[in-house]
Amino acid sequence: MAFPLHRMRRLRNHPWTRRAVRETRVGVEDLIEPLFVSEAIRDRKPIPSMPGCFQLSLDHLVEESRQSFELGIGAVMLFGIPAEKDARGSAGYSEQGIVPRAIRALKKEVPGLFVVADVCLCGYTDHGHCGVLEGERLLNDLTLELLARESTAYAEAGADMVAPSAMADGQVAAIREALDGAGFDDLPILSYAAKYASAFYGPFREAAESAPQFGDRATYQMDPANRREAMREVELDLDEGADMVMVKPALAYLDVLESVAEVSPVPVAAYNVSGEYSMVKAASERGWVDGTRIALEILTCIKRAGADVILTYHAKEVAKNLEEEGAGSRR
């Protein structure tokens, strides 16, 4: 028995039923806001390819984070831009580096904020690759040592979680061991488990000044064509002790996200990356799409596909919008 007995539109007529039967809701509690903190500037510098995003001095980072916290965004992910770079990315694991300083400032000035630190070397190396090189080859096992040191430096500064994104084999195990050895057995690791070699990171590399000076990241990040391989990446990271796993990018990878979320015994994060953000902003600046509605729709769909947590540059905008909606308007 179908039509005319059944009419799907009956429950779509009134805003109350539409809200009551809604299966997925994005809330500020789902979001982590990525922020860029720079040692080289004193104010906030707009990132041209990411309208609404900035490189922030330490003071401005605190200010931005405070605003986000007041909007209900409980977590930020930090990316550092050092004043000096070298071949081994030493500014990334120095205790006096910009990220440890930022973590200390945030813990003091915005208590209650959950501070996640991205762990990678591409922002700190002069060649822009995610680890130590020999010629043009990335040395996996030597890189592990540095990632472990970087994680420990962030933990010592007070980070609430570390998030390794270098796609070095064994990075979760190396970091877990280093953290445990330093007394941080309680600090969780969010692993960028299925991270693809994606053109969607283009604007981020401008923002973080981390573009590789030669070649690309195809020898360590995943081929966008592969899904089965993502499952294996996740499995290995779980064996190494990951507390949460991430799929990145999100939007063009919802199938991967769904597959991971279906089997993952740990919570799953999705990274709505810079290129996804910039495309929405560019089209909305031209008046071609309604940027705020699209952002909320994208995040809702990422959550529908299975994400427990979403990293997004839209965080503030969406938080403001949800607040207004909560204050009375009807959809």
Task: Give me the residues that bind ligand PBG (CB under 6 A), please.
Answer: 118, 120, 122, 130, 165, 201, 204-205, 217, 273-274
What is the distance between the alpha carbons of residues 295 and 274, in angstroms, rounded to a whole number? 13
CB nearer to ligand PBG: pick between 59 and 302: 302
What is the distance between the alpha carbons of residues 101 and 227, in angstroms, rounded to a whole number? 38
Closest CA to 124 of 156, 104, 150: 150
What is the distance between the alpha carbons of residues 138 and 125, in angstroms, rounded to a whole number? 12
* Identity of residue 44: R
Nearest residue to ligand PBG, using CB? 204
CB nearer to ligand PBG: pick between 115 and 130: 130
Are 93 and 148 within 8 A, CB to CB?
no
CB nearer to ligand PBG: pick between 104 and 205: 205
CB nearer to ligand PBG: pick between 136 and 324: 136
Give 124's DSSP letter: T
To ligand PBG, the closest distance from the beta carbon of 277 in angstroms equals 7
What is the distance between the alpha carbons of residues 236 and 257, in angstroms, rounded to a whole number? 16
Sign (positive/negative) of CA torsion 197, 200, 206, 209? negative
To ligand PBG, the closest distance from the beta carbon of 217 in angstroms equals 6
What is the distance between the alpha carbons of residues 180 and 211, in angstroms, rounded to a whole number? 32
CB nearer to ligand PBG: pick between 152 and 312: 312
To ligand PBG, the closest distance from the beta carbon of 208 in angstroms equals 7
To ligand PBG, the closest distance from the beta carbon of 328 in angstroms equals 34
What is the distance between the alpha carbons of residues 296 and 326, in angstroms, rounded to a whole number? 14
CB nearer to ligand PBG: pick between 217 and 316: 217
Residues labelled as active-site residues: 195, 248
To ligand PBG, the closest distance from the beta carbon of 204 in angstroms equals 3
What is the distance between the alpha carbons of residues 306 and 329, in angstroms, rounded to a whole number? 28
- Give the number of C-alpha atoms closer than 13 A to the C-alpha of residue 19, restricted to the C-beta side: 8
* CA-CA-CA-CA dihedral for 211, 146, 163, 57, to nearest 10: -60
- Give the number of C-alpha atoms closer than 13 A to the C-alpha of residue 311, restricted to the C-beta side: 25
To ligand PBG, the closest distance from the beta carbon of 254 in angstroms equals 17
